[in-house]
């Protein structure tokens, strides 16, 4: 009887220890994911800034080359206006395509999602970890219930034995 109490106390301590270990592991995982996502974000921002600067330089040189080439056929001022007009026509095109070109990639980058397949994989992994933990806890609950039922049956048997002794 005493050993069963110690056994239940040991199981309770083991469950509490595992829950504490699980909570610490989840906290550490969340902390590392925040660090990873932050470093990816900073890296992506720096890369984006560099690419924008390079794109401006390329556009400036292409515009200068186009102006010089057009200046062979038309006056310089007309060549500048033509190249400027082409850039003005690009603005509505960029506004129309801004969601697919800029907003969606930024949102995916900030959320850490590459595509729907990766989202499914991460969701399945999280569900799998949760299912394993639930099954472990359910096993402990079933074990605790079995011990409780055993003691309840033992108490009922002892009580009925005591009642039968005094009723005779």
123 within domain boundaries: no
Whole-number Å distance between alpha carbons of 26 and 149: 34
Domain annotation covers residue 11: yes
Number of domains in the chain: 1
State the pTM of this model.
0.45
Domain residue limits at 32: 2-112
Say if residues 82 and 70 touch (Cβ distance below 8 Å).
yes
User: Between 62 and 14, where is the model more confident?
Assistant: 62
Tracing tokens 């200068």 back to the chain, one arrives at 64
pLDDT grade, residue 115 (50/70/90)? low
- Domain assignment of residue 99, yes or no: yes
Q: Is residue 135 part of a domain?
A: no
Check residue 111 and give its pLDDT.
66
């Amino acid at each position: 009887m005493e050993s069963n109490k110690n056994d239940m106390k040991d199981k309770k301590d083991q469950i509490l220890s595992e829950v504490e270990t699980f909570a610490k592991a989840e906290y550490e995982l969340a902390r590392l994911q925040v660090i990873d996502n932050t470093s990816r974000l900073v890296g992506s921002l720096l890369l984006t800034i560099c690419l924008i600067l390079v794109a401006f330089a390329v556009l400036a040189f292409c515009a200068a080359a186009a102006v010089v080439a057009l200046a062979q056929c038309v006056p310089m001022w007309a060549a500048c206006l033509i190249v400027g007009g082409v850039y003005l026509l690009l603005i509505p095109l960029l506004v129309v395509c801004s969601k697919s070109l800029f907003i969606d990639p930024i949102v995916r980058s900030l959320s850490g999602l590459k595509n729907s397949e990766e989202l499914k994989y991460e969701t399945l992994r999280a569900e799998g970890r949760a299912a394993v933990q639930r099954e472990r806890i359910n096993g402990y609950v079933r074990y605790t219930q079995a011990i409780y039922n055993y003691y309840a049956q033992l108490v009922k048997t002892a009580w009925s034995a005591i009642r039968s002794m005094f009723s005779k």
